[in-house]
């Protein structure tokens, strides 16, 4: 007995649960830890921080979390079940994103079997990007925004137009509070909205008005946050100060995963062109271009490309007939992928939330130490030992480009101990086998407390 088509569409996110469990097996981003601490402090004080209180190098400087509601979500789950539950909660955005991609693909004419196959293959390539950070919100918000915009511009009923426009505004409200990158939605609505005006159609004036209202709704929704207009300035500061971060750099052909994502994006752009969908063609060009400029935008473009590739597979009668004749093969492939992911998930499920960070060493640090720490290690200190102020962490918008480069030189270039002497540092938590690690190991006045695969802890002897 065949399942109803609607049920097959909504079974897609359920089938992605094994992939989510696989991703939850590892917490690999340093942002996750300080974001949990920010969320815990918001829950405790009922206030969103406006200045830094976690470091001694930028203590008191103006700083705003760019994902305060997401941080609260992480903190609330952390209270319930620690890092394992936190990892699982963040990984839940994989099925959510899959559902949003599936709904967009369905709107574009795709069928559930082919869509499921494309989603499984492409989401596996995207897996490394589904980390426990607010960026996972973007992967669900963008396809949902494009879906709502298409409903507004091409409604089945007049009432659907205004429901979709209201939905766009509400989506932006939720998005901007979970992640301040939400102004991207306004720009994307404008770009895609312009695409609907390319083809000469009757009622063009009505289309122009609808597109303008949709963009206005997105803009107004984006302003409904504790930061109001300053959300744009905060997002700009994050970008400008993150130039030293690899994922904010320009695309280069040095990563197999990146190359695969770019190929998917280019195929998605071709699909939009062959499907004669100017709104999505312009969106793909804009998002892929943004991904070439800043690598972290490439997964967002890939997410949209997945829906387009699924629709392209069912675009012509010949392809549809081919898909019908190979329906059992497609089902077999989908079931095989789900089964393979489920087997891996069972193996990984025993220890969700495992992190490649020196948790034991952080607990061994003296409470009164003036700490120098590596860039990726500060977030864990902020979470586990908030009474110890860090020298830096992955909040690049707080420290700025120059300070991060100087700290990187201290850790990985010769002469680091002299810089520690000048700033009165008494403890150092550094990357194993870094230049500073090697120098402190033989430096008079420093004692190695311990080390593991992820960190080395040193404490300065008291002055005689």
- Domain check: are 365 and 339 in the same one? no
- Domain check: are 220 and 88 in the same one? yes
- Domain check: are 193 and 231 in the same one? yes
- Domain check: are 336 and 389 in the same one? no
- Domain check: are 57 and 103 in the same one? yes
Number of domains in the chain: 2
What are the two backbone dihedrals, phi and then psi, of residue 195, each rounded to the nearest 5 degrees? -65, -30
- Domain check: are 339 and 373 in the same one? no
Residue 345, pLDDT score: 63
- Domain check: are 317 and 395 in the same one? no
- Domain check: are 341 and 375 in the same one? no
Q: For the chain of 464 residues, list the mean pLDDT of each consecutive stretch of 10.
A: 65 88 89 97 96 96 94 97 94 95 95 88 92 95 98 92 97 97 96 89 81 97 91 68 64 86 96 96 96 93 96 71 60 67 66 86 95 96 97 92 91 92 95 96 94 96 61
Among residues 330, 348, 366, the one where a domain terminates is 348
**Tokens describing residue 73:** 């979500």
Among residues 348, 376, 392, the one where a domain terminates is 348
- Domain check: are 298 and 431 in the same one? no
Rounded Cα gap, residues 31 and 78, in angstroms? 15
- Domain check: are 276 and 375 in the same one? no
Q: What is the pTM of this model?
A: 0.91
Domain housing 389 = 356-460
- Domain check: are 217 and 336 in the same one? yes
**Contact residues for 271 (Cβ-Cβ < 8 A; gap 6+):** 305, 308, 309, 311, 312
Give the number of other CB atoms < 10 A from CB of residue 5.
Answer: 12
Which sign does the torsion angle of CA 357, 361, 365, 370 carry?
negative
- Domain check: are 375 and 342 in the same one? no
Residue 464, pLDDT score: 37
Among residues 293, 327, 348, the one where a domain terminates is 348
CB hemisphere CA count around 218 (13 angstroms): 29
Confirm if 90 and 74 have CB atoms less than 8 A apart.
yes
């Amino acid at each position: 007995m065949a399942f109803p088509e609607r049920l097959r569409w909504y079974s897609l996110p359920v089938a992605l649960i094994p992939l989510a469990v696989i991703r939850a097996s590892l917490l690999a981003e340093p942002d996750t830890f300080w974001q949990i601490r920010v969320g815990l402090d918001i829950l405790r004080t009922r206030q969103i921080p406006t200045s830094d209180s976690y470091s001694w190098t930028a203590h008191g400087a103006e700083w705003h979390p760019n994902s305060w509601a997401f941080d609260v979500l992480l903190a609330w789950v952390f209270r319930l079940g620690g890092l394992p539950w936190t990892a699982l909660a963040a990984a839940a955005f994989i099925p959510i994103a899959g559902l949003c991609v599936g709904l967009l693909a369905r709107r574009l004419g795709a069928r559930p079997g082919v869509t499921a196959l494309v989603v499984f293959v492409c989401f596996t390539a995207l897996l490394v990007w589904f980390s426990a950070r607010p960026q996972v919100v973007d992967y669900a918000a963008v396809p949902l925004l494009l879906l709502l915009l298409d409903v507004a511009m091409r409604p089945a009923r007049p009432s659907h137009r205004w429901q979709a426009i209201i939905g766009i505004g509400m989506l932006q409200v939720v998005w901007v509070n979970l992640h301040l990158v939400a102004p991207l939605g306004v720009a994307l609505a404008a770009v895609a909205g312009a695409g609907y005006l390319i083809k000469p159609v009757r009622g063009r004036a009505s289309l122009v008005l609808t597109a303008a209202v949709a963009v206005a709704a997105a803009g107004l929704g984006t302003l409904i946050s504790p930061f109001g207009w300053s959300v744009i300035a905060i997002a700009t500061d994050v970008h400008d100060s993150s130039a030293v971060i690899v994922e904010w750099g320009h695309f280069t052909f040095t990563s197999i995963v990146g190359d695969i994502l770019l190929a998917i994006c280019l195929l998605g752009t071709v699909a939009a062109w062959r499907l004669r969908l100017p709104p999505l063609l312009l969106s793909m060009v804009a998002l892929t271009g943004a991904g070439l400029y800043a690598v972290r935008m490439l997964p967002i473009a890939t997410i949209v490309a997945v829906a387009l590739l699924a629709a392209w597979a069912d675009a012509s009668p010949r392809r549809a007939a081919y898909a019908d004749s190979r329906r059992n093969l497609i089902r077999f492939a989908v079931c095989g992928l789900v089964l393979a992911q489920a087997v891996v998930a069972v193996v990984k499920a025993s220890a969700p939330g495992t992190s490649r960070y020196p948790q034991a060493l952080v607990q061994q640090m003296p409470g009164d130490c003036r700490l120098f720490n590596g860039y990726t290690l500060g977030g864990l200190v902020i979470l586990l030992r908030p009474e110890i102020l860090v020298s830096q962490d992955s909040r690049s918008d707080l420290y700025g480009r120059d300070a991060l480069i100087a700290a990187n030189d201290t850790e990985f270039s010769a002469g680091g101990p002299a810089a520690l002497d000048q700033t009165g540092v008494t403890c150092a938590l550094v990357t194993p086998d870094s230049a500073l690690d090697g120098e402190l190991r033989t430096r008079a006045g420093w004692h190695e407390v311990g080390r593991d695969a992820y960190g080395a802890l040193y404490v300065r002897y008291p002055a005689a």
